[in-house]
Structure formats: C-alpha cells, structure tokens
Structure 1
C-alpha cells in the first residue's frame, strides 16, 4: 500500500513564496508509485486550503514567487487525536458543510520561518498524534530563535559568532548605550539579524556605526527581537544532516561552500533565491580533508545538541586558522532540486527522489511525544 503524504506550504511568514517553490520541487520529484500526495496551502492570513498538486503551479515566474490564494475548500485537521490503528482523516469545510477529505499517513510542513518552522505547526500536529517530517516542538522553536540556538550550542561546547540580543523596546530607550557597547566590545563589521526569521530576511551588514539605526529598523520590521553579531572572517560552508537510522548517529554530507562575488556584501535573500549578484556553490568545498571532517563533526554535534529530528542544515564559517564557527542551523532548509541541502546529498549518492522518500519513511516510523 502506498503512503499518503500531505505537503503543507505557504504560511504567514515572509518566506511564504520560497515555501511554495520548495513544495513545487518536491511535487516534481516525489515517487508517485510509492506515495500519494495531498497539497495543502496556507494563505498569508493563515487559512488552510486544498491546492493544486501540479508542480508547474509552484515555480518562480519572471523572478516572482508563487502565492497560496484564498480559494478552494478549507482544510480542517481531525476533530480528535489519532489513535494507533485508526486512519488519520483530514476534513474539508465546503459550502458550510464538513466532509471527509482524505486519509493521510504523514504531514510534511514545508514551511520556512515563523508560524511553521518554529514549533507552532509541529505543536498542532503533536496534539493530534499526526506523524510529520522534521524536528519536534522544542528543537524547532530553539533552532528558529538564533539567540536560543547559540545559547544551546555554546553549552555543548560549540563556537558561535560573538554578539548581543536587543529587543525593540530596549533599543528605543537605550540606542546610544547599545551602540557604545558594540563599539567597545565588538569590532566592525556587524551583522544585524531578526532573531526569528530565515532566508536572510531583514539581515544587514553594518560597516559604519552611523548605519546601525537603519539596519535595526530593517530587522525590527521582521521581528521585535534582533541579534547583532560580530562579523567573522572565514569561508561560508554548509553541511547537510539526516537523522541516523535505527537510533544511530546523525548522517552528514561532505560540506559545500558558498562564495559570493565582490558585487555582494553577503549572501542575502535576493542572492539566495532571485539571482542577485555573483554566487558560486561548490560541492564539495575545496578544503583540506581534515577540515571537512571537522565541519561534519561539528554539524553532527549541533544536530544532537539541539535535539533535531529528520533533517537539518548546519551553516558554519571556516576561519584562516581552521576554526569552525557555527553561523546558524536550519531545521527545514530550502528543498528545491537546486538548493544546497539536496545538492549536498546528491553528492553523497542519495538522489532527490530517494532523499524525499527517506524523510517520509523516517516520519512514518517515528514516535511522537508522551502519551
């Protein structure tokens, strides 16, 4: 019997369009001989609707990302929690009447950013005992919050970029003191990041103290909690991680490297997804074997320290003296056929379709939270 997978994408965050593109990639490659697929879009207002499962509807067109529109029948989760041996039945609200829509085995939240990658949707699914792809509530929430991530990683003895956390109300009262502290303790450049956003949304590189105010305004537009980090001089390297089989150690890829040209200040949102500037992605990274192994070890330790499940991508800097400094951890990395995570696994001999199957099968076999 085939497994039925509900792909959940779109969502309320600023990464709505990228989530839709990710769904398009998976819809184009998932093995329809092994899996039935139900496509569920979440509008920017938070409404769940059944949408097209045609991958051509979820691609970039002239640089514009697709959008989940508020059309089609509304999708409802089960009224009661799933019990072993019983089907998981999603329902539809259609013309004011509730009816059964489909039986599913696994939900895959292909959601990036807030209200999807941060433990919120994972909590909904846990409440109903519905198996899903990816990390649980705590790991998702901790990994979404860059400040919390770094606290946990440092506790595990892993190195992260130095920096401070600033809340919007604190900045409004103490802007001068924050700036003075940074100038005293953290050399320029600074990277200003919304604490709970992904895909480099709202991130700015600050090379002059007088530019900090504008960078903070940009970051606060995404999140009232902001991380200001000291810039690290190093090569940007990324490592894919999959949960180990049968309780084994996490599986890691040979790392890849992102190199940005002189026409970019850093690897930002537009360069990641919309072709801005000169970017090259090299898999494997051109680093000594010992350094590549150290990156893999750090990625595995980070995955374990944060309690991740399913998958993750660990992004690091490798300094001139071969220190491995963690930049961030992604619990639901970009997943188009050309995204770094699938490319890294393809280099390991795991095709895009088989990577999708691996994750679905992991999810179907997992045990959720306490009963």
Structure 2
C-alpha cells in the first residue's frame, strides 16, 4: 500500500520563491509508484491550499492564480487529508525554524528533517554559535547586535564592533536564510548600511570577521548514525555567495568534490557529522564551512536544516556525486522521518 506524503511549499518567509522551486524539483523526482503525494501550498499571507495543478505553475508562482483557485470552491479548498508523513520544503522562517516541526509533533506526524529544538537553534545563527562553542567547533570571531541597543546608541555599537573585528566583516540577520539581508562591509559607512539592512529582517544581528576563504559545504543524512556526502565547493560569481549569486547568477559554479586533498575532505566530513550530532539534527542538514585560503584552517559558517532542493542546489548534487540518486534521497528522507517518529 502506498504511503501518503504531504509536500509543503511556499510559506511566509523571504525565501518563498526558492521554496517553490525546491518543491517543484522534489515533486518531479518523488517516486509516485511508492507514494500518494499531496502538494500543499502556503501563500505569503498564510493561506494553505492543496494544489492539484501542474508542477510548472508551482515553480513560476502561477499556482496561486490557477483558474481553480479563483472559484469559491477553490478559495475554500484547505488541506484535510490524513497523511503518513510531511515533507516541508519551506526554507527560512515559519518552516525551517521549528514552527512546522512543532505543528507536526502536536499532530504526531512524521516530519522530514530535524525536530523542533534542532530546527530552531540551527535557524538562529547566534544561538548556533553559542551552542557549538561548547563543543569546541572553530568559528569566526563575532559580535552580537540587538536592535534596541543599536537604536539607543548606534555609535557605541559601531565602536564596539570596530574594536573587536577588523575589516572586512559580514553582517547577517540571525534568523534568515539564502543569504537574505547579508552584506559585506569594508568601512564604517558600509557597516552602518549593512546593519540598517540586516535590521529589516531580524532584531538580532550577527557581525563576523571576514575570512579570505573558500566556501565548502557538506550534505549530511541520517538519524542516530548520520553520514556525510562528498563535500562540494562554491565558486561565487560575486564577492560572496549572496542570494543573487546562489539563485540567479549562472556564473556561480559548484565544484564536487571540493578542490582539497582527500585528507582535508575527510576531516571536513568528520567535522560536519560532529556539528550535526552536537545540534541533535535528524534526517538531513547541510553544514557549511569556510576554509581559510592562507592558513587552510576550517571554520563553521552555518547549518541549514532544510537545504535547497532546486536542480542546482548543493545538497542533492553532493549526494548524487556520492552515488545516491535524487529519488532515492527523497525516499530515504521520508523513511528516516517515519523511523524517528516511531522510535
């Protein structure tokens, strides 16, 4: 008997569009001989619909203006199916941060990916740093900026940052993905502009020392016994791998495996599994590192618990390079979610 799987896409985060593209790829590759699949779209204003139209319209955004959804019946067509598992392809807030995971937990539904606590911590870059310091994971020096402190005396905050960190530095909203709201500052003026931009997305901001580094990512898969795929390297089309370089600029390149020695690749894989376990991840996560071009030291960058699943995304590509086909990867993720829920 086929299992019923709900695939959630869209959502209310700044990564709504990326989610749709990832979900379209999942829907094209999931084995329909094994699963009855129910695509569940979430609009930017939080409405949920079971979508029964063409997958291409999910990718383009036309699913919301499909003729069926213009009808009174379509406007009321909310999801009401009983399912065996939920696959949230929801990047960013209200999908990757423990909220959907908590809903599934309340309903006793297996949910692909890490649980509530792990999802929440990994989504918050600052608390990821706090926790991983306990495990001795090497990370770039940083300063935390809170919105209320910055508004009270921004000059004091700028002075604090410049005393601790040299330029260049990265400014990041603590809770945001796909490099949304991230900037690189080379001067006081750019630092102020970067903080102003980041504060549009979050009330907590992470300012990190810029490292002249190569960006290396590792796909990790599993529950109690996670394994890492062959690491990949990002060669961004721009100065750093921002949203435009990730999803819109075809000049960005993905190199799998990363151009490092076998010894270094294995060490990075081991570190990725260490981070995955320290954060109590399950199912999947992509663990991103920075490798200093001068010293070859490895620093943790961030952890993504619902990594991109688009046709150009690193997570499925790294597993494909490790011998695991896209459809088999989806199958394994659903199985891991069910096993975790039953365990």
TM-score (ref. length: structure 2): 0.93
Aligned to 2:50: 50
Shift of the alpha carbon at 1:95? 8.7
Aligned to 1:3: 3
Aligned to 2:195: 216
Deviates more, 1:100-109 or 1:43-52: 100-109
Q: How does 1:280-359 map to 2 (within 5 A)?
A: 280-319=253-292, 320-359=294-333
Which contiguous aligned blocks of 4+ residues in structure 1 show a shift greater than 3 angstroms?
Answer: 70-73, 93-101
Long gaps (5+) in structure 2: none
- Partners of 1:111 and 1:323 in 2: how far apart? 33
Shift of the alpha carbon at 1:148? 0.3
- Structure-2 change in CA distance of 1:183 and 1:109 (3 Å): same
- Structure-2 change in CA distance of 1:119 and 1:219 (3 Å): same
Q: 3-state SS of the aligned residue for 2:335? A: helix
Aligned to 2:175: 196
Q: 3-state SS of the aligned residue for 1:366? A: helix
Q: For residues 182-219 of structure 1, what are the alpha-carbon distances to aligned partners after superposition, in whole Å with 9 as ceiling and x for unaligned?
A: 22110111101110000000000001111122111111
Q: 3-state SS of the aligned residue for 1:344? A: helix
- Partners of 1:330 and 1:95 in 2: how far apart? 34
Long gaps (5+) in structure 1: 61-65, 74-92
Deviates more, 1:216-225 or 1:327-336: 216-225
Q: Is the 8 A contact 1:283 1:344 kept in 2?
A: yes
Aligned to 1:84: none
TM-score (ref. length: structure 1): 0.87
Q: For the aligned residues, what is the CA RMSD?
A: 2.1
Aligned to 1:162: 141
- Partners of 2:284 and 2:74 in 1: how far apart? 39
Q: How does 1:1-371 map to 2 (within 5 A)?
A: 1-52=1-52, 54-60=54-60, 66=61, 69=64, 101-244=80-223, 247=224, 249-261=225-237, 264-275=238-249, 278-319=251-292, 320-367=294-341
Q: Is the 8 A contact 1:316 1:327 kept in 2?
A: yes
Higher relative CO (Cα under 8 Å, sequence separation at least 6) belongs to 2
Shift of the alpha carbon at 1:101? 3.9
- Structure-2 change in CA distance of 1:170 and 1:349 (3 Å): same
Aligned to 1:63: none
- Structure-2 change in CA distance of 1:97 and 1:290 (3 Å): closer
Deviates more, 1:47-56 or 1:195-204: 47-56
- Partners of 1:303 and 1:99 in 2: how far apart? 35
Q: Is the 8 A contact 1:298 1:324 kept in 2?
A: no
Shift of the alpha carbon at 1:102? 2.5
Q: Is the 8 A contact 1:10 1:68 kept in 2?
A: no
Q: 3-state SS of the aligned residue for 1:159? A: coil
Q: Is the 8 A contact 1:7 1:110 kept in 2?
A: yes
Structure in which a larger fraction of residues adopt helix: 2
- Structure-2 change in CA distance of 1:368 and 1:67 (3 Å): farther
- Partners of 2:280 and 2:53 in 1: how far apart? 32
Shift of the alpha carbon at 1:103? 2.7
Q: Is the 8 A contact 1:337 1:352 kept in 2?
A: no
Q: Is the 8 A contact 1:346 1:352 kept in 2?
A: yes
- Partners of 1:99 and 1:337 in 2: how far apart? 29
